[in-house]
């Protein structure tokens, strides 16, 4: 569907620039989905995602530039070795917080999977909102087209795809944790059709999960969306699992706060951004990024390093060309 290039901005920022292939740029449905991906990524960019630097979904070749995060995906990490219990608990807590931030702005990711999770040193990042949508979106995809990745899709994504809500992401979180702990999902088969049947009708295989995670993951993988916890509810549970305390744990005492007057005076010394009506810096920044994209489209010096596949799925790991 397109290619992702590694680029550098004029200020030295490393960027991941996603550019849609020309043959898909003329597809109105694909353009609508890409436009929605950009909107979703802009809303949730923050501590748990890759921030959007700039984008132009209406260009002849739509593109989006995000901050490049130099980290392996969870899929790559698990190919080397599965996560130990401590790593798994921290992953669970981080993903719960990430989903909380995504759902808080009314977005449903719909394709949370190991290749869409970056294992950055300072915490996980959820990427690729290619098939995400607002919970109240009227955007429709082609009749009969399967949107998602079967081993991580919730039952309702197969049965009632137009009624998918945030609970589907919680189901995917449970499946991702099983994969991280065991190297395979809770519904495992070489056939996507059999996986789909298992997701809808069979009980998940939770063998290999640390015992303390089994109850919460089982709730995430409930068949009925109403029986799954929300991301907000998961946070306290996952944090309790990830950061257990004991009787001899030293209490953390925060340093005393600075006086209000001192904080106020310090803030007054911080330069204030110019009003929205006069933003030459922003225009210059966009011009630099747009110029970089122009070079990429013309076959510039930086080659494509990741392809992104059908349905706006996660980037693959094979080198590609625009």
Residues with Cβ within 8 Å of residue 211, at least 6 apart in sequence: none
Cα–Cα nearest to 20, from 44, 37, 39, 41: 37
DSSP 49-97: S--EEEEETTSSS-EEEEE-----BHHHHHHH-PPPHHHHHHHHHHHHH
Q: Supply the residues annotated as catalytic.
A: 111
3-class DSSP state of 320: coil
What is the C-alpha separation between 139 and 131, in angstroms, rounded? 11
What is the C-alpha separation between 210 and 205, in angstroms, rounded? 13
What is the C-alpha separation between 105 and 32, in angstroms, rounded? 19
Tokens representing 214 are 């089994």
Maximum distance among all Cα pairs of the chain, rounded to whole angstroms: 65
Helix intervals (H) in 118-191: 155-159, 167-182
Residues with Cβ within 8 Å of residue 309, at least 6 apart in sequence: 1, 315, 316
Cα–Cα nearest to 156, from 223, 70, 221: 223
What is the C-alpha separation between 286 and 290, in angstroms, rounded? 6
């Amino acid at each position: 569907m397109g290619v992702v290039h590694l680029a550098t901005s004029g200020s030295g920022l490393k960027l991941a620039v996603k550019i849609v292939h020309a043959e898909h740029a003329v597809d109105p449905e694909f353009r609508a989905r890409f436009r929605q991906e950009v909107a979703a990524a802009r809303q949730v960019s923050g501590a748990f995602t890759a921030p959007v630097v700039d984008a132009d979904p209406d260009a002849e070749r739509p593109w989006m530039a995000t901050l490049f995060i130099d980290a392996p995906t969870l899929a790559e990490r698990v190919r080397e070795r599965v996560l130990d219990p401590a790593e798994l608990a921290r992953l669970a807590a981080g993903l719960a917080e990430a989903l909380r931030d995504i759902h808080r702005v009314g977005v449903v990711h719909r394709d949370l999977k190991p290749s869409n999770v970056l294992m950055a040193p300072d915490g996980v990042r959820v990427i690729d909102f290619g098939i995400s949508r607002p919970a109240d979106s009227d955007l429709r995809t082609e009749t009969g087209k399967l949107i998602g990745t079967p081993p991580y899709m919730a039952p309702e994504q197969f049965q009632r795809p137009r009624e998918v809500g945030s609970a589907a992401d919680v189901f995917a979180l449970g499946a991702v944790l099983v994969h991280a702990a065991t190297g395979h999902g809770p519904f495992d088969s070489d056939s996507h059709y059999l996986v789909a049947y298992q997701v809808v009708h069979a009980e998940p295989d939770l063998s290999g999960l640390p015992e303390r995670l089994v109850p919460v993951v089982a709730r995430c993988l409930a068949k009925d969306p109403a029986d799954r916890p929300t991301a907000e509810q998961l946070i306290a549970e996952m944090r309790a699992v990830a950061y257990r305390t004991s009787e001899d744990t030293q209490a953390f005492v925060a340093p005393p706060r600075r006086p209000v007057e001192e904080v106020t005076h310090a803030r007054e010394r911080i330069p204030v951004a110019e009003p929205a009506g006069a933003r030459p810096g922003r225009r210059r920044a966009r011009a630099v990024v747009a110029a970089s994209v122009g070079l990429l489209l013309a076959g510039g010096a930086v080659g494509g390093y990741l392809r992104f596949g059908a349905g706006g799925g996660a980037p693959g790991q094979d080198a590609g060309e625009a």
